[in-house]
Amino acid sequence: MNLSLTPQLEIFIRESAESGDYNNASEVVREAVRLLKRTTEERAIKLQYLRKAIAEGDTAISRGDSHAFNSEEELEHFFDEL
């Protein structure tokens, strides 16, 4: 696999490897890919929860289990009462 990096990224990788935190540039890149993978997976899980919450909210609205707030003051009052 070949990668093309911007000069700024090459410098960052080189400096990270030279800092002693990593043994070489490959370790830096592997760590970056692991972090990207984790972030992507977490984002997918959050999106799944958000979609579920939206569906539950839509169902509640359909049942009439909702309240429309006509101003920020009404919304603040609602949360103050919780």
Q: What is the mean pLDDT of residues 73-81?
A: 91
Q: List pLDDT tens digits, range 7-26.
A: 999 999 999 999 999 999 99
**pLDDT > 70 in the chain, percent:** 100
**pLDDT > 90 in the chain, percent:** 88
Q: What is the pLDDT of residue 82?
A: 83
Whether residue 67 is predicted with pLDDT greater than 90 in this model: the reply is: no
Give me 28's structure tokens.
């830096």
- Locate tokens 């579920």: which residue? 52
Residues 6+ apart with CB under 8 A from 66: 57, 60
Whether residue 54 is predicted with pLDDT greater than 90 in this model: the reply is: yes
